[in-house]
Amino acid sequence: MSNFWSGYIIVLTLITLGLILWLLFATRKGQRPEETDQTVGHSFDGIEEYDNPLPRWWFVLFLATIVFSAVYLVLYPGMGKWPGILGWTQVGQYEEEVADAREQFAPIFAKFADMPVEEVAQDDEAHRIGQRLFAVNCSVCHGSDGRGAYGFPNLTDDEWIWGGEPDQIRTTLNGGRQAAMPAWLAVIGESGVRNAAGYVRSLSGLETEGVDIAAGEQIFKTNCVACHGPDGTGNPLLGAPNLTDDVWLYGASMLQVQQSLRYGRNGNMPSQAHLGEDKLHVLTAYVYSLSKRNTDAEAD
C-alpha cells in the first residue's frame, strides 16, 4: 500500500470516528430530564414522538463501542499501513495455528511413519485418516470414492498411468505430475488423425469400420511408439497410458480419440508436498489401498 492511500485511510477513519463522537454528544440533551412532554414537532398518522434523550445506559454503550474501536485500531492493523503495537498478522495467526495442530497430531502420524505403506494401507485407523486427507485434497478431481471423472484417473482399478506401486504413488503425490499428449493434426493431417484413431481403438478391440487400419498402424509406429511402446501398452515413466485395455481417460469413442490426436491433451496433477512427510505417507497408503481393496473385493 502506498503512503498516499495509507494516509488517506488513516485520515478518513479518524474523521469518521470524530464525527460519530460529535454527533453522539450533539444530540445529547445536556441537563434536560430523561423524560419530557415535549414532542419533536411532527406526527405520523396522528402519532407524535416525544423529544426524549437517549437512556443513559444506551449513551454509555455508544461511548464504549467508540473507545473499543480506538483501542482496537491501536493494537491491531486497521489504520493504513500501521501494523498495530501487538504486531498481529493473518499469516502469523495461521502459522501459529498450523504449528499447534502439528504438535497435537504429530504423535498420531508418527506411529505410521516407520511402517511400510503396505502395512499402513491395512490399518483401519490409518485408512480413516487417509480418507479424510483424500476428501480434503483429492476428491475435487478424483471424486469422494476415488473413481475419477472425465480427464481424471480412476484410482480404484488396477490401471495406473504413472505406476501404482507405493514409491510411484508417493512420487506422484509429492511432486505432482505434468502429462502432455502432443497435437498431431499438423503432422499427419485429418485423414491421418482418423486412421490413427481407428488403429488405436483396434488395440483394445473396438470397432474400426471405415478406417484404413494399415495406414493408421504405420502412423502409430512412426509417431507414437516412443511414448506408448510398439505394442501400445504405455510407459509409466512418461505417463503414457496403456492403449490396449478398456480404460480411457478422455473417452473411447471415435470422435473423442480423434480429438485427443488432433489437438493433444494436457493433464496436471498438483503436488501435495504441503501436507508434510507424515501425512503424505498415510495418504499414499490410502490411495494404494483404493485399488488393492477393490481388487481383493472383486476377487472374492
pLDDT score at 176: 96
Domain count, the chain: 2
Specify if 190 maps to a domain: yes
142 neighbors 152 (Cβ within 8 angstroms) = yes
Residue 125: domain span? 98-176+270-299
Same domain assignment for residues 229 and 123: no
pLDDT of residue 297 exceeding 60, the answer is: no
Specify if 154 maps to a domain: yes
Specify if 54 maps to a domain: no
Task: Identify the CATH number of the domain in which residue 112 sits.
Answer: 1.10.760.10
Same domain assignment for residues 233 and 105: no
pLDDT score at 45: 81
Across the range 198-216, mean pLDDT stands at 93
Q: Is 281 annotated as a binding residue?
A: no
pLDDT of residue 196 exceeding 70, the answer is: yes
236-293, pLDDT tens digit by residue? Answer: 999 999 999 999 999 999 999 999 999 999 999 999 999 999 999 999 999 999 988 6
Across the range 122-127, mean pLDDT stands at 94
pLDDT score at 116: 95
Across the range 124-137, mean pLDDT stands at 96
Specify if 183 maps to a domain: yes
Specify if 160 maps to a domain: yes
30-62, pLDDT tens digit by residue? Answer: 555 556 677 777 777 878 877 777 788 888 999
Q: Is 274 annotated as a binding residue?
A: no
Q: Is 181 annotated as a binding residue?
A: yes
Same domain assignment for residues 122 and 259: no
Specify if 93 maps to a domain: no
Q: Is 254 annotated as a binding residue?
A: no
56-92, pLDDT tens digit by residue? Answer: 888 899 999 999 999 999 999 988 888 999 999 999 9
Same domain assignment for residues 205 and 254: yes
Specify if 31 maps to a domain: no
Q: Is 142 annotated as a binding residue?
A: yes
Same domain assignment for residues 164 and 274: yes
Same domain assignment for residues 158 and 262: no
pTM, rounded to two decimals: 0.71
Same domain assignment for residues 169 and 187: no
Specify if 255 maps to a domain: yes
Same domain assignment for residues 120 and 261: no
Same domain assignment for residues 280 and 262: no
Same domain assignment for residues 169 and 224: no
Same domain assignment for residues 169 and 285: yes
Q: Is 115 annotated as a binding residue?
A: no
Same domain assignment for residues 139 and 279: yes
